Structure 1
Amino acid sequence: MASAHLQQQAIQAYYSAISFMDAQVGKVVDAVDRLGLGRRTIIVFMSDHGYQLGEHGLWQKMTLFEESARVPLIIAAPEMNGNQRATSKVVELIDLYPTLADLCGLTPPADLDGRSLRPLLEDPDRAWPHGAVTQLSRRAKQDPFKGYSVRSERFRYTEWDGGKRGVQLYDHEKDPHEGTNLASDSQYAETIAEMKRLLQESMKPASRAEGLKPAP
């Protein structure tokens, strides 16, 4: 394990990178405004993964915890009521293609996965019953397996190898840092059943792409 000093340096470097990136985004936005393009420009800021800085004793990415699975996502589009407002609703990166097509007045392919986020851009507080799935491969010796995690607005539910190698449930309303696994708590049996159904439903696009079937 790295020394406390090295860990502190890594955290400082990461925060410095965030500040630098924020400044560059500001330059792009300023240029769009200066050129008079704001009324016909859609700006999307996103990343492909989060990053752990010692949470759960882990660093970098490649986990199914919130710090690794959650990404920054900002969309600014002309004439959207939700501009400059945050939402607690859960979305996926595969939603970006249909969203941009919708905002540009284009018809996306009929078999396209994901859904347009335009309703949330117009009203960030509207009902949004969808989940977001993250998957991860574990390269165990001679026995690789996958973990699948689904996030709802309140809960995160994770299955390793279809539940055979572990199940996790975290209540983000009470435990935003995912420190207490509730999977074995009988009080959450109904929630686990609901989240399992949400996982199976949310996995369908990925399952089609990989030729897989969700665990029963």
Structure 2
Amino acid sequence: MIIGKTHFSPLPPVDYKNIHTGNDDMRCSDYKNESCLYLNEDQFLETYLTNDMIKQVGNHVANSSETPFFVHLSFVSPHPPSTPPHPWNEFYSDDDISSLDLNYEVGDIDKLPNQTKMLLGITEENPAVNSRASAWLNDDGSPNMEKINQDRKLYYDLCAYVDSQIGRAVDFIDSLGIASETLIIFTSDHGSQLYDHGIDNDKHTFLDASWRVPLIMRQPGAVPAGGVERFASTLDVTTTILAAAGVIISEDEGITWDAANSTSYFMSGFDMYTPLVEKGIGNQPRLAVPGTEYRGYAVVTGKYKLAYYTEQDETFLWDRVNDVQERENLAKDEKYSEVINVLRTALLRWRAQQDDLQWQMEGWKNAAEVGIRARDDAAKLTGLKAEINLQNAGVLADSIEIGV
């Protein structure tokens, strides 16, 4: 079942789908003209989607209790426009929000990567859109906290509402008596800067507020409760679901192209489920996380985050241990040149290894002589090879001693 926001095509062949993707679909009357109205909770999109999930899963369990099911319940909220339904638009008080720090200093916008500024439309080539920034900046360049806190309050109100709908979905699974047999995964595609670093309620950056999202797994009796792992990636979600369903097995390093008859050979993500169930907390295999957006690439390790923009040859390096707010770009500090070289080279290698292995193995069976050589070389990757190579480089970078 696919219920809710869906940004991929073509859709897989599923028994049931109910697609609602537009930002103003059952959330707002006319958000482009900034005339949104607060709907009641029972009229709002996420309530409707959760109701449908409850109906469809309830019918399935009642009529096909022995047949496994899969549901992708995908919410639009808390994506803008931030118009939380009544009464959630009054969940947080102004005092709750005014006490929050703002990770912003005058001049932060100029320090953003050029690709980020281009994607956000705040480039010098298009000065008219500077009104986007001036809408929340005072004449002296300082932040207009009244405007910022108003937007932040609505965003957090909307998050609280989303939490309530997730709770409804989980409670329903529990009420059916199938919690111990049902793996629930909660995650998101991105966060929001909420004016940190000079970006309003938007993203298009590798900064933590945009890139770092929750990923929570729940299956009583199988997945240990209360534990926290260091790293995971949304790339791992598909592999994890397939592993939990018994469709794939752990990666076989010795597999060759002519024996590539299992899905695991082609999967790029790590199986997070099996290590948790068999070994418990602290045994996840992922030690580094890569990310991409347009022509920018980034990798996170235990100590560092490196972002590299190929089009402009821009490099950013942050110390994740001593600079959690990502204020200082260390890329021009010679002390970190070895760390940068290791991570940037590994990141570009990772990008070059994003082969469509299944297409190559199937399409090059009768290739010419050179094609066969290329196929056999690509086959050495297996699905996880690029990820393993990258995280090994991340471990190496973290071990480099930095001079004074």
- Normalised by the size of structure 2, how large is the TM-score? 0.46
Equivalence map 1:113-124=2 (5 Å):
113-118=268-273, 119-120=275-276, 122-124=279-281
2:267 corresponds in structure 1 to 112
1:9 corresponds in structure 2 to 150
Structure index of larger Rg? 2
Structure 1 gaps of 5+ residues are: 138-145, 210-216
Cα separation, partners in 2 of 1:129 and 1:34, compared to 1, 3 Å: closer
1:22 corresponds in structure 2 to 163
Cα separation, partners in 2 of 1:27 and 1:2, compared to 1, 3 Å: same
1:131 corresponds in structure 2 to 288
Say which SS state the counterpart of residue 53 (structure 1) adopts: coil
Q: CA deviation at 1:127?
A: 6.3
- For 1:123, the aligned partner's letter is G
Say which SS state the counterpart of residue 86 (structure 1) adopts: coil
- For 1:19, the aligned partner's letter is A
Question: Are residue 177 (structure 1) and residue 334 (structure 2) matched?
Answer: no
In 1: Cα distance, 2:351 partner to 2:223 partner: 31
- Normalised by the size of structure 1, how large is the TM-score? 0.82
- Kindly indicate which of the two structures has a greater share of residues assigned to strand: 1
1:53 corresponds in structure 2 to 194
Question: Are residue 159 (structure 1) and residue 308 (structure 2) matched?
Answer: yes
Question: Are residue 93 (structure 1) and residue 234 (structure 2) matched?
Answer: yes
In 2: Cα distance, 1:183 partner to 1:25 partner: 41
Say which SS state the counterpart of residue 208 (structure 1) adopts: coil
1:214 corresponds in structure 2 to none
Comparing 112-121 with 98-107, greater Cα deviation is found at 112-121
The answer to whether the 8 Å contact 2:270/2:285 transfers is no
Provide Cα deviations, 1:115-141, integer angstroms capped at 9, x if missing partner: 21122564332364542222222xxxx
Cα separation, partners in 2 of 1:204 and 1:74, compared to 1, 3 Å: farther
Total equivalences in the alignment: 199
Q: CA deviation at 1:112?
A: 2.1
Provide Cα deviations, 1:97-130, integer angstroms capped at 9, x if missing partner: 1111111211262312212112256433236454
Provide Cα deviations, 1:37-75, integer angstroms capped at 9, x if missing partner: 111001011111121111111121111212111222111
Say which SS state the counterpart of residue 27 (structure 1) adopts: helix
2:221 corresponds in structure 1 to 79
The answer to whether the 8 Å contact 2:270/2:286 transfers is no
In 1: Cα distance, 2:349 partner to 2:313 partner: 21
Question: Are residue 32 (structure 1) and residue 189 (structure 2) matched?
Answer: no
In 2: Cα distance, 1:151 partner to 1:204 partner: 18
Q: Percent identity?
A: 27
1:143 corresponds in structure 2 to none
